[in-house]
Amino acid sequence: MFEGVLRAITTGFHIDSILIIMENYDKSPSDLKIFLSSLLGYKGLEVYPLSILDRISATRWIDKLNLDLDDAIAYHVMRKLNIDKTVSYDRHFDSIKDIMRLEPSDYKNETL
Residue from 53, 52, 77, 75 nearest 63 by CA: 75
d(CA 12, CA 52): 13
d(CA 97, CA 79): 12
pLDDT at 108: 64
Cα 8 to its chain centre, rounded Å, is 9
Task: Domain 8-107: give its CATH architecture.
Answer: 3-Layer(aba) Sandwich (3.40)
Mapped onto helix, strand or coil, the DSSP state of residue 67 is coil
- Digit-by-digit pLDDT tens for the chain (112 residues) are 444 467 899 999 999 999 999 999 999 999 999 999 999 988 889 999 999 999 999 999 999 999 999 999 999 999 999 999 999 999 989 999 999 999 988 876 554 4
- Whether the full predicted model's pTM is greater than 0.75, yes or no, is yes
pLDDT at 112: 40
